Amino acid sequence: MTTTVQCPTCNTGVRWVTENTHRPFCSQRCQQIDFGDWATESFSIAGDSVMDSASLGTEDVDS
Ligand SMILES: [Zn+2]
């Protein structure tokens, strides 16, 4: 009895077993693709957020 999940990157069925170190991904390639997308998106949002905070902080100090 094995649980099967879908790879978030390519939707391939992945058996949820200890031997599959890349679960829920089907392979290291899909794991890296998904992490790359997340990291890029997160970095972009964080950068904008930091810039906004810096601008607001400066305004508060001046006024
Ligand atoms: Zn995959």
What pLDDT does residue 46 have? 58
Domains of the chain: total = 1
Q: Is the pTM of this model over 0.75?
A: no
Q: What is the CATH number of the domain that holds 16?
A: 3.30.50.10
What pLDDT does residue 1 have? 80
* Digitized pLDDT (tens) for each residue of the chain, 63 residues in all: 889 999 999 999 999 999 999 999 999 999 988 877 666 666 565 555 555 555 556 666 666
Question: How long, in residues, is the chain?
Answer: 63
How many A from CA of 20 to the centre of ligand 1? 12
CA 3, CA 5: separation in Å to the nearest integer?
A: 7
> What DSSP assignment string belongs to the chain?
---EEE-TTT--EEE--TT-TTTTSSSHHHHHHHHHHHHHHHHHHHHHHHHHHHHHHHHHHH-
How many A from CA of 55 to the centre of ligand 1? 41
Give the residue numbers spanning the domain of 11. 4-62
CA dist 32 → 8, 15, 35, 36, 57 (Å): 11, 19, 5, 6, 36
